[in-house]
Structure formats: structure tokens, C-alpha cells
Amino acid sequence: MTNRPHWSYSAISQYLACPLRFYFQRVIGLPQEKVSSSLVLGSAVHAALAEYHRTVQRDEPTDTGKLHLILTDAWKQRGSGTRIIYRDGESQDGLIAQGIALIETYLQEPPPQNIIGIEQEIIAPIHNSRGEYLEKPLFAVADLIQEANEELTVCEFKTSGRAYSEMESETSLQPTCYINAAQEAFGHPATVEYTVLVKTKTPKIQRLKAVRHEDDLARLGDIVENIERAIETKVFYPVESPLNCSACPYFQPCREWGRREHTELVQLNIKPAGADGRQL
């Protein structure tokens, strides 16, 4: 990962979802003491998929046992030192087995072709609707990039308890960020394809295309520009909802937010993570 100050989809979406969580994590650097089981499973599945795609790119046989081991090791590494929040009825062994089932289902699909990037890191500029480039660029890590006839497909892999809707792929800023990054970096038109590994009783694979146009990329720049203004003027507040709060690692600091004694404690004991101007 680059040390240069930058934006990412995760930082942009985090501020839009809850500015106070952005403040805790990315401005004052409060440690995260817990993580949701879905995030740990997603990271483990991504690690196994990346290895599988590397074997496809090298035209090597698939070693499913190795993929199972990578998934298990990635789970343990992601959850090490952090309390994992499980939903009712979940367990580590059960979720690892679910992850293996998702991988096995994906392996039944035709392997991807014309791979030019796996876990590809990209630094690319962002421009607003006035055609001006912002000072901080965009940092993106593309799960998989394929090229055909000088057109790029950025494949983004998701694990989900349900199928995605068309509206989610049409309105999410993630495809906008990835298309902006790919087109700026490679100079070719790009689309994003969501590959959703759905965690139903019988796992299934869903694929959704996302297309973006110049107006969408310019709008991304306008959004980021306004987030930067808000951060400069210290606009941080909680957005309370079941989705935001149920597994938030900053639930207690959020409840204490605004209290004089908590504010003084943070200022005395925690060095701001954003002191160097870095945005992750």
C-alpha cells in the first residue's frame, strides 16, 4: 500500500455512512477491538480466490486442498488479536466450512480468461465536474482484471447472505471508483463485474455488470471534494442505524462522544492518525 496521502472507496463510503466512525478510525486512530464474522469470512475467501486466479493465470492445475488451507489460515490471521462478533448460530468451524463451500461452488464456474491483474494496486487521479484534478489521488486494489479487445473488466468478489439487486450495482460508488482507477491507469474503457458468492444453504454465484460514464466519474470527484471540505471544518457526527451500529467496533466511544472527559482522554492519550494528512 502506498504511503502517499490518498482516498479509497472504503474511506469515502465510510464517511458517507457514518462521519463519526470515520473520525474514530481515520482521524484519531482508535484501535478496533472487534470485527464482524462476515468481514473475516470475506477476507478468507478473497485470499483463496486470489491464489486460485494465480494458478489459472499460470495455467497450473487447481489444488483444492491448498485453497482450503489458505482460507483457513487467512481466517485465523484476520481474527488474531481481535474479538470476532458472531451472529446467533454461527461458529468458527461452521463459517470456515461455509467459505470452503463457496470456493467449491466458484470452482465449478468456467475459469476467468485474459487475466492481466490479481489483487492489482492502482493509484489514479480523481477529477471533479469542472475538470480539475484533486490533490489526493484514489487508491484501489482490484480483485481481478481481465482484458479483451482493449476493454477492461474489473472483477469484484463479494460474499453475501443474499443476492444483490440491480440497484446496488447501479448506485454503489465502488464500481465508480474502480472504473475511474482502471481507466486512468490503463487508458482503456472499463466496466466492473460483481461476482457475488451467495451464502445460501446451497451456495450460488451471481454476476452483475456495472457501467459508468464520464458524468459519474466527475460526480465522484465532486463528492470527494465536498467530503474533504467537511473534514477540514470538523464535520463529524453519528449516523445511528441497525446496519451501522450492530457490529461497529466503536460503539462505546460513540456513546461517550461529546462528553468532556472522553474528549480530553482521547486528546491526551492518542496520537491523531491523520497528523500527516494521510487518508486511507
Give the CATH architecture of domain 114-235.
Alpha-Beta Complex (3.90)
DSSP 167-234: HHHHH-HHHHHHHHHHHHHH-S-EEEEEEEEE-SSS-EEEEEEE---HHHHHHHHHHHHHHHHHHHTT
Domain ranges of the chain: 22-111+237-280, 114-235
- Give the pLDDT of residue 263: 55
Residue environment code for 84-93, b if the CB has 16+ CB neighbours within 10 A, otherwise e: bbeeeeeebe
Specify the pLDDT at position 1: 58
**pLDDT tens-digit series, residues 99-115:** 999 999 999 999 999 99
pLDDT tens profile 236-274: 999 999 988 888 889 889 988 877 445 554 554 544 454
| pLDDT one-digit tens code per residue, 148-183 | 999 999 999 999 999 999 999 999 999 999 999 999
Name the 3-class secondary structure at 84.
Answer: strand
Cell (9 digits) for 131: 475538470
Among 47-61, 96-110, 195-209, 240-254, name the one with the lowest average pLDDT: 240-254
Residues 6+ apart with CB under 8 A from 210: 169, 170, 172, 175, 179, 191, 192, 193, 194
Q: Which amino acid makes up residue 216?
A: D
Assess whether pLDDT exceeds 90 at residue 9.
Answer: yes
Q: Which amino acid does the sequence have at 206?
A: Q
pLDDT digits (tens, 9 = 90+) for 208-223: 999 999 999 999 999 9
Q: For residue 89, what is its C-alpha cell? A: 448460530
CA distances to 106, 113, 142, 265 from 119, in Å: 18, 16, 5, 39
Average pLDDT over every residue of 2-13:
90
d(CA 227, CA 126): 13
Q: Which amino acid is at 69?
A: L
